[in-house]
Amino acid sequence: GAGVSQSPSNKVTEKGKDVELRCDPISGHTALYWYRQSLGQGLEFLIYFQGNSAPDKSGLPSDRFSAERTGGSVSTLTIQRTQQEDSAVYLCASSCPPQRGQNSNQPQHFGDGTRLSIL
């Protein structure tokens, strides 16, 4: 498919375990974003990658959260020593490169998310 692909779709794990969530953006999209959506809430920004620039990590809630983007494509969000409050849907989005003279205003295209449940 041509959309943003996330895996797994659902993940259940025990408190204290580490988890890895994967995002495969749309081909050619240089920007990649991770968001978290807790039950009944809006989306909360976590981290943003743009090309080869240093990522914007300003939304990561603690040092247990980290993300990588290898080769400018696939990204992995890692949560170490998971806690029950980490339970949420984790959404990934990607967008085209910004047009000349404009900020990064390209629409973000979202995947279906990973529902993470911490027991």
Q: What is the three-class DSSP state of 71?
A: helix
Question: Interior CA angle at 57 toward 111 and 35, to 5°?
Answer: 25
Single residue of 19, 23, 25, 48 touching other proteins by CB under 8 A:
48
Closer to other proteins at the Cβ: 53 or 66?
A: 53
Say how far residue 36 (Cα) sits from the centre of its chain: 8
> Can residue 87 be called a binding residue for other proteins (CB under 8 A)?
no
Closer to other proteins at the Cβ: 82 or 95?
A: 95
Closer to other proteins at the Cβ: 23 or 91?
A: 91
Alpha carbons 39 and 56: distance in angstroms, whole number: 25
Alpha carbons 79 and 84: distance in angstroms, whole number: 12
> Can residue 23 be called a binding residue for other proteins (CB under 8 A)?
no
Q: How many binding residues for other proteins (CB under 8 A)?
A: 26
Q: Which amino acid is at 38?
A: S
Residues in touch with other proteins (CB under 8 A)? 31, 33, 35, 41-45, 48, 50, 56, 59, 89, 91, 93, 103-105, 107-113, 115
